[in-house]
Amino acid sequence: MSHPETAKRGMHLAEFGMLMAIIGTLLHHHIVTYTWIIAGLSIGSLVGLAMGLWVPMTAMPQRTALSHAFGAFAAALVGISEYFRHAGHLGKIEMSALGFEVMLGSLTTTGSLLAFAKLQGLVRGTPMTYKGQNIFNMALLATTVVIFIYLIFVPGSMPLFFAMAGLAFVFGLLLVMPIGSADMPVVMSLLNSYAGLASAATGFVLSNNVLIIAGTLDGFSGFILSILMCRAMNRSITNVLFGAFGSAATAAAGADQHGTMREVGLEDIATQLAYANKVVFVPGYGLATAQAQHAVRELADVLEKRGVTVKYGIHPVAGRMPGHMNVLLAEANVPYSSLYELEQINPEFPTTDVAVVIGANDVVNPDARDNPTSPIAGMPILEVDKSKSVVVLKRGQGKGFSGLENPLFFKPVTGMLYGDAKDTLTRLVQAVQHA
């Protein structure tokens, strides 16, 4: 997976390996009845295929969250079933692994389902907090762990086992409740990691090496992604999980923005773009919600025909999950060689004629760099304010998902172009063609 070209080959190998593992298991001597298995495999394949083929790329974060839920649920169910089977005659080691598996699996299931709901808009995206929340969560977790440890020594107490599982399910919900939409990328990576670790725990319980290896790989992948996301936001992981970003914002961002936001006309911008040497597009979650990825590519095409150099600056936590923007733009046929990471594109902004910010907010907020009291202080940003001119495409004057004021909008170098991104970009295409 280190390069798009070799990734496809790697995936085919993985698929083949998976098939072999499944066939090998089906021939296992423990298997007596095949009816349930066939039924399960068929239903699962149908659902999986349907989801895989029909989910639009913009719904990728939601689908990924659902996938975590399924994987974790399967692990939790196997754990519960194993407990049932042995009805309390479990050695300490087995019980520990099983307990881990059920706890982790349960909380990841509910946590991922809530993440799905938040992403899909079924539940508010703003952080849901209440007084003493962290203490309550910690207490709940402590109780669950205490029951877990007790069960290791007294595995026979079935009601306690179910209590532990139930508490874990609840804890998953509570853990994800205070996470704001902007912090979703980290939580998604974490849940990815937990789902994998739950599978690895299953491997310990069933003494199955394949499960251990696969689960650990998944667990680590998610974990590394989480660390990367946190570094990209310059916040520690505890801060993300327990910091309730939203509430911090209202307290600290005292400096009210004075000054006005300069609105610009479409024709002016079109002219600027048409006669520029270098243009950099900076996409954010707004690009996804406006479904404007095709429109931005059309604009890029038109500009490139005129000899303008077009690049895209992708911030690591732009969007709602790691790599969100890359996938969105790839779907619009933007060649990945035009996509640049933060460290690559930042040095280029001083020589950029126009930086076009589409539905992005925190990732270009200079407060992260200049204002030490800002909630996002220290977070590496795309330094569009160093360009010769900045255009911000935004629906309106609101504060965006994170609720933070953005001084970029008030700087003299910036012009605001209000309206639906897709609509604006399409009209820009026509305007540039006539320029």
Partner 1 sequence: MTVDTLISALYVFALAAFLGYQVISRVPPLLHTPLMSATNAISGISLVGSIVTAGANYNKVSTILGFIAVVCSTTNVVGGFVITDRMLKMFKRKDVAKKE
Site for partner 1 in 140-199 (CB under 8 A): 188-189, 192, 195-196, 198-199
Q: Are strands 278-283 and 414-418 parallel, antiparallel or unpaired?
A: unpaired
Answer whether 198's CB lies under 8 Å from 72's CB: yes
303 binding partner 1? (CB under 8 A): no
Q: What's the closest the beta carbon of residue 217 comes to partner 1, in angstroms?
A: 4
- With contacts defined by CB under 8 A, name the span among 123-131, 203-211, 283-291, 417-425 that binds partner 1: 203-211
Task: Report the alpha-carbon distance of residue 163 to residue 159 in Å, rounded.
Answer: 6
**Residues pairing with 354 in the sheet:** 279
Q: Which residues contact 427 (CB under 8 A, 6 or more apart)?
A: 266
Task: At 172, give phi and psi (nearest 5°).
Answer: -55, -45
Q: What's the rounded Cα separation, in Å, for the pair 220 and 189?
A: 10
Task: Work out whether 214 is an interface residue with partner 1 (CB under 8 A).
Answer: yes
Can residue 381 be called a binding residue for partner 1 (CB under 8 A)? no
Q: How far is the CB of 223 from partner 1 (least distance, A)?
A: 9
Least distance CB 10 / partner 1 (angstroms) = 8
Q: Which is nearer to partner 1, 136 or 336 (CB)?
A: 336
x/- mask, partner 1, residues 100-139, rule CB under 8 A, reads ----------------------------------------
Q: Is 316 in the site for partner 1 (CB under 8 A)?
A: yes
Residue (43 or 146) nearer to partner 1, CB: 43
The interface mask with partner 1, positions 86-105, x = CB under 8 A, is -----x-xx--x--------
Query: Which residues are catalytically annotated?
Result: 362
Nearest residue (CB) to partner 1, 359 versus 415? 359
In the complex, minimum distance from the CB of residue 323 to partner 1, in angstroms, rounded to a whole number: 3
Residues 219-248 that bind partner 1 (CB under 8 A): 219-222, 224-225, 228
Residue span binding partner 1 (CB under 8 A) among the ranges 17-25, 170-178, 255-263, 353-361: 17-25
Q: Which range, of 4-12, 143-151, 169-177, 269-277, touches partner 1 by CB under 8 A?
A: 4-12
User: Residue 394 and residue 392: Cα distance in Å, rounded?
Assistant: 6
384 secondary structure, DSSP code: G
Distances (CA, A) of 355 to 281, 351, 417: 6, 10, 13
Spatial CB neighbours of 303, under 8 Å, sequence gap ≥ 6: 273, 274, 276, 279, 310, 432
- Segment holding 276, helix H or strand E: none
Q: Which of 200, 230, 354, 417 binds partner 1 (CB under 8 A)?
A: 200
What DSSP line would sit under 154-208, residue for residue? -TT-HHHHHHHHHHHHHHHHHHHTT--GGGHHHHHHHHHHHHHHHHHHHHHHHT-
Among 44-52, 153-161, 260-268, 413-421, the segment contacting partner 1 (CB under 8 A): 44-52
Q: At what angle do helices 92-120 and 60-86 cross, to 10 degrees?
A: 150
Distance of CA 4 to the CA centre of its chain: 20
Secondary structure (3-state) at 315: coil
Q: Which of 13, 40, 255, 277 binds partner 1 (CB under 8 A)?
A: 40
Figure out which of the listed residues 62, 73, 292, 379 binds partner 1, where binding follows CB under 8 A.
73
